[in-house]
Amino acid sequence: MKVLIGFIKDAVISVTSGSLKYHIWMAFLTFLMLCGAYAYSIQIKNGLIVTGMSDGVSWGLYISNFTFLVGVAAAAVMLVLPTYILKDIDFSRAVLIGEGMAVAALVMCLAFVTVDLGGPARIWHLIPGIGLFNFPNSMLSWDVIVLNGYLFINLTIPLYILLWHYQGKEPKKAVYLPGVFISVFWAVAIHMVTAFLYAGLVSRPFWNSSLLGPRFLASAFAAGPALMILVLGVIRRNTDYWVEDITLNKIALVTTVAAQINMVMLISELFKEFYFPTHHSLSAIYLYFGLDGYDGLTRWIWPAVIMNLIATIMLTLHPLRKNPFFLKLACLILFVAIWIEKGMGLIIPGFIPGPWGKIIEYTPTWIEIVVTAGVWALGLFVFTLLVKIAIPIELGQLRFHQTATNQP
Amino acid sequence: MNAKNPSHSMESCNENCANTADLSISTLIEGMLAENILSTPEKTERDLEVLMERNQEGDGWNEPTDQVIPSGYQQMVQQPVNRRTAVKIVAAGLLAGAGLFQTACSPFASAEAREKAQLNWEEYFKGNFRLMSDDEKEATVARLERLYELNTGKHLNISAANALPGVLYGYAFNISKCRGYMDCVRACINENNQDRKSGMQYITIHEHKKGQINFEHAEDDFYHEVPQEGHFYIGTQCFHCENPPCVNVCPVKATWKEPDGIVVVDYDWCIGCRYCEAACPYDARRFNWADPVIPEEEVNRNQHYLGNRLRKKGVMEKCTFCIQRTRTGKNPACVEACPTGARIFGNLLDPNSEIRHVLRTKKVFRLKEDLGTEPKFWYFMD
């Protein structure tokens, strides 16, 4: 108990002290969050009418971002798996960062789902016991369970490890290893369940495909580690926390293979939709080429496809992947490409054309964009806090003292 | 005559009503029948038998509620007595606490304002309608009526009537008779207190070119005289599927199928996630993107808790076969308003009903039957 209080005190001190750069960064995120909160207050007051959504396209930017971030959260497993189970020592320094990333991504997921609700005040109806939970029929109820469960796992394992390191002790494998095993399966589950959320809808042929789940996994295991490489790059530059090049190279390899599989699946999807287009291919036709003069999504999907292709080629070529600059560039391109593909390129076209063939297009409003930016800022804020606590402990700068808890 | 003009004459249609379907269409349908695409009356009878059996078996949720049912909270929790009691005590404590808090914080507030706050608080913490006992249903209805009175000074008549025993509602739409007058749409909006500002409609009338039934090529927003030469009209709305995808996906069981087959929404339980709207293959669900606006004098005051009572922003709504009318033995507003007699409604379990006559004698079909949703909404031609 004393340890925990000391830990919290030290953690608060650690996150509130830092370089000027750190303070500017946090102030910037806070500013974005406040902007998001203001935009959200307008949405609460007037209803979801202030968004670009309608009865035609009833999910938009929020659910798009939610879907993408589930993938980012799931990808933390790519780092957990080798570290704890394959005893691949290279990854141990990166893995805490990966789990922090998962926590931040999950916080964003839950925030995106909440801001998308028409009646956020009635969210308690979802709590089993006092509410009424449609389990196991509704895939959304599965999603609530797996996301919160995954959040719990990814909070407790790093907390245990950090608390023990904080006391200068070595964490017991028997305690955290079972949790790690569960989290490996759980990570696959969160992405599959989220894919099933869409794949289970017979009303939307664009989503009602058995490839949706596997493709979600492939793109997640490309986008997640790609973000990881970028984040580790920033951490290496700004702190003493040094992650070896060999670790980065291994993560890059994971990203590369996942990106290649994702491309194969994309080709498979395109073949099915366009070799002999049917009534069920209309959404894909709308997405890639426009339909009946409506082509609101073509300007999103083509850059995404091209960026995906470029990034995959860059990663596949060894000289480029081994070069830190090109690696980071490829990861950035890949990350953005998959963000578009999983967002504007997957959720929106599912609704177009509507069940009776009517085309209603969707463009996010400034309120949606600002709220989205606010939620991203929240995620980055949470991530920065977690890293700011974890790094001094891992570096041995922050240790528990019985008398004085005030350590730099 | 204009589609959007309500003041058309009955006579003009009466001349045309007797017309049978256009020859090209009937040939087309005959062809489809030969290819076994459409249902035959025999097949429909078989389907009906299955439906009826299913209805009699019940699935637990849909059992008629004549036995004594514990309170909503208790049913929800389904836990040993001590926990039930605990939940009840907590709920009661919250209510009492809220009342005290309100009184303590607003010594100068009027009795009315305090009553309003208390009622709002109790409404916020009430359970799902399906799990309420009849007493609890009456209590929430009384609260809603009182709140409306406090807010507007006008009286509402909200019913919480349960499904009638031995009733399963079904609907048939005569494609040869519909001429696109849209009287059904207007009657529906007035009856069901739909948002006038967004122009929400439960019914869509699709104008098809003769020679094909392809909804992608149909015109859904027509602003010209009807019937248009060379066109025919098909109306769609909620089909009240026996196997509704929307009910499956709701994470909080805010939407369900009543024992009389009507798919309803508890507007006070819905959290507004819109998963049901994505799951519906028939574009039957409507979301309140903003607070609905209905001029006070146009509000239909004869309401049902699961039907046309006033909605708020952020909740889903849909056609309820005018539950407030049909449970008192009346026809839905659209059926009553249709000047051509294209709409037929009735009890599928009554062998002598008009709907059963149609299913027996006409070649009927349903839309997107391949999805297995089992709509209780059939189409036919004379």
DSSP string over A5-74: HHHHHHHHHHHH---HHHHHHHHHHHHHHHHHHHHHHHHHHH-GGGSS--SSS---HHHHHHHHHHHHHH
Q: Give the count of alpha carbons within 13 A of A97, CB side only.
A: 24
The domain locations on chain A are 17-392
Summarised one tens digit per residue, pLDDT across range B301-328 is 999 999 999 999 999 999 999 999 999 9
CB atoms B251 and A58 under 8 Å: no
Phi and psi at B255, nearest 5°, equal -130, 140
Average pLDDT over residues A79-103: 73
Phi and psi at B68, nearest 5°, equal -70, 130
Residue of A nearest to B249 (CA): A138
pLDDT confidence of residue B169: 97
The total number of structural domains that make up chain B: 2
Alpha-carbon distance A311 to A330, whole Å? 5
Alpha-carbon distance B41 to A123, whole Å? 46
CB atoms B269 and A122 under 8 Å: yes
Nearest to B269 among A59, A125, A139 (CB): A125
Average pLDDT over residues A383-404: 82
Per-residue tokens: B233: 């009209």
Whether B30 is in a domain gets the answer yes
Report the gap between the CA of A193 and the closest CA in chain B (Å).
13
Any idea which residue has 């953005």 for tokens?
Answer: A336
CB atoms A203 and B281 under 8 Å: yes
Q: Please, which residues have CB within 8 angstroms of residue A386's CB and are 6 or more apart in sequence?
A: A100, A103, A104, A158
Nearest to B326 by CA among B335, B317, B338: B335
Report the gap between the CA of A140 and the closest CA in chain B (Å).
6
CB atoms B288 and A358 under 8 Å: no
Q: Is the pLDDT of residue A150 over 50?
A: yes
Q: Which residue type, as a one-letter code, is found at position A170?
A: E
Phi and psi at B234, nearest 5°, equal -130, 130
Any idea which residue has 């470029």 for tokens?
Answer: A310
CB atoms A282 and B131 under 8 Å: no
Residue of A nearest to B79 (CA): A129
CB atoms A137 and B254 under 8 Å: no
CB atoms A55 and B128 under 8 Å: no
Per-residue tokens: A18: 């830092």
pLDDT confidence of residue A171: 85
ipTM reported for the complex, 2 dp: 0.92
Nearest to B341 by CA among B6, B13, B26: B13
Report the gap between the CA of A344 and the closest CA in chain B (Å).
16
Element (H, E) at B17: helix B10-17
Are the C-beta atoms of A118 and A256 separated by less than 8 Å? no
Nearest to A28 by CA among A373, A392, A336: A373
Report the gap between the CA of B326 and the closest CA in chain A (Å).
27
Are the C-beta atoms of B249 and A140 separated by less than 8 Å? yes
Q: Does residue B116 sit in the same domain as residue B185?
A: no
Three-state SS at B190: helix
Q: Please count the other Cβ atoms lying within 10 Å of the Cβ belonging to residue B28.
A: 16
Element (H, E) at B118: helix B111-124
B/e letters for B300-336, b = 16+ CB within 10 Å, e = fewer, are beebbbbbbbebebbbbbbbbbbbbbbbeeebbbbbb
**Torsion, Cα of B50, B52, B57, B58 (10° steps):** 110
**Domain of B124, in residue numbers:** 72-159
pLDDT confidence of residue B199: 93
pLDDT confidence of residue B347: 97
B377 forms beta bridges with: B171
CB atoms A356 and B220 under 8 Å: yes
CB atoms B250 and A357 under 8 Å: no
**In chain A, which residues have their Cβ closer than 8 Å to the Cβ of B283?**
55, 354-356, 358
Point out the domain boundary residue: B106, B130, B159.
B159
* Interface test mutation site (partner A, options B79, B287, B318, max chain A beta carbons within 10 A): B287
Q: Does residue B27 sit in the same domain as residue B104?
A: no
Q: Is the pLDDT of residue A4 over 90?
A: no
Summarised one tens digit per residue, pLDDT across range A206-254 is 999 999 999 999 998 899 999 989 998 998 888 888 888 888 888 898 8
Longest dimension (CA), chain B: 78
pLDDT confidence of residue B102: 55
CB atoms A140 and B206 under 8 Å: no
Whether B55 is in a domain gets the answer yes
Q: Does residue B313 sit in the same domain as residue B338?
A: yes
Report the gap between the CA of B252 and the closest CA in chain A (Å).
5
Point out the domain boundary residue: B141, B159, B177.
B159
Nearest to A122 among B77, B271, B313 (CB): B271
Per-residue tokens: A100: 């922090």
Whether B126 is in a domain gets the answer yes
Phi and psi at B286, nearest 5°, equal -130, 140
- What's the fold here for domain A17-392? Formate dehydrogenase/DMSO reductase fold (1.20.1630)
Q: Which residue type, as a one-letter code, is found at position B24?
A: S
Q: Is the pLDDT of residue A384 over 80?
A: yes
Alpha-carbon distance B307 to B169, whole Å? 15
* Interface test mutation site (partner A, options B124, B289, B317, max chain A beta carbons within 10 A): B289
Alpha-carbon distance A120 to A47, whole Å? 11
Are the C-beta atoms of B280 and B246 separated by less than 8 Å? yes
Nearest to B225 by CA among B185, B183, B181, B184: B181
CB atoms A137 and B248 under 8 Å: yes
Residue of A nearest to B282 (CA): A355
Residue of B nearest to A49 (CA): B289
Q: Is the pLDDT of residue A406 over 50?
A: no
pLDDT confidence of residue A404: 46
pLDDT confidence of residue A78: 66
pLDDT confidence of residue A157: 87
Q: Please, which residues have CB within 8 angstroms of residue A404's CB and are 6 or more apart in sequence?
A: none
CB atoms B269 and A132 under 8 Å: yes
CB atoms B249 and A123 under 8 Å: no
Return contacts of B43-51, CB within 8 angstroms, 24+ apart.
B44/B359, B44/B364, B44/B378, B45/B359, B45/B360, B47/B374, B48/B348, B48/B356, B48/B359, B51/B168, B51/B242, B51/B348, B51/B374, B51/B376
CB atoms A118 and B287 under 8 Å: yes
Q: Is the pLDDT of residue A288 over 60?
A: yes
Report the gap between the CA of B286 and the closest CA in chain A (Å).
6
Nearest to B41 by CA among B350, B355, B345: B355
* Interface test mutation site (partner B, options A54, A55, A147, max chain B beta carbons within 10 A): A55
Q: Does residue B57 sit in the same domain as residue B196?
A: yes
Q: Does residue B183 sit in the same domain as residue B230?
A: yes
Summarised one tens digit per residue, pLDDT across range A292-345 is 999 999 999 999 999 999 999 999 999 999 898 999 999 999 999 999 998 889
- For chains A and B, count residue pairs whose Cβ atoms are closer than 8 Å: 153
Burial label for A74, CB within 10 Å (0-12, 13-18, 19+), is buried
**Torsion, Cα of A195, A284, A206, A309 (10° steps):** -20
Average pLDDT over residues A53-67: 96
Summarised one tens digit per residue, pLDDT across range B153-184 is 999 999 999 999 999 999 999 999 999 999 99
Which DSSP category does B158 fall into?
Answer: E
CB atoms A356 and B279 under 8 Å: no
B157 forms beta bridges with: B302
Are the C-beta atoms of A331 and A230 separated by less than 8 Å? yes
Q: Does residue B226 sit in the same domain as residue B200?
A: yes
pLDDT confidence of residue B262: 97
CATH number for the domain that contains residue B229: 3.30.70.20
Per-residue tokens: A15: 């996150």
Q: In degrees, to the nearest 5, what angle opens at C-alpha A30 toward C-alphas A28 and A31?
A: 65
Which DSSP category does A85 fall into?
Answer: I
Which DSSP category does B377 fall into?
Answer: E
pLDDT confidence of residue B63: 43
Q: Which of A90-94, A177-181, A370-374 has the lowest mean pLDDT?
A: A90-94
The better pLDDT of the pair A168, B86 is held by A168
Report the gap between the CA of A294 and the closest CA in chain B (Å).
14
DSSP assignment of A216-260, as one string? HHHHHHHHHHHHHHHHHHHHHHHSS-PPPHHHHHHHHHHHHHHHH
Average pLDDT over residues A92-107: 86
Point out the domain boundary residue: B159, B180, B197.
B159
Q: Please count the other Cβ atoms lying within 10 Å of the Cβ belonging to residue B83.
A: 13
**In chain B, which residues have their Cβ closer than 8 Å to the Cβ of A285?**
none
pLDDT confidence of residue B108: 61
Alpha-carbon distance A327 to A324, whole Å? 5
Q: Which residue type, as a one-letter code, is found at position A401?
A: H
Whether B3 is in a domain gets the answer no
CB atoms A137 and B124 under 8 Å: no
Which DSSP category does A84 fall into?
Answer: I
Report the gap between the CA of A200 and the closest CA in chain B (Å).
8
CB atoms A48 and B271 under 8 Å: no
Nearest to A356 among B251, B283, B288 (CB): B283
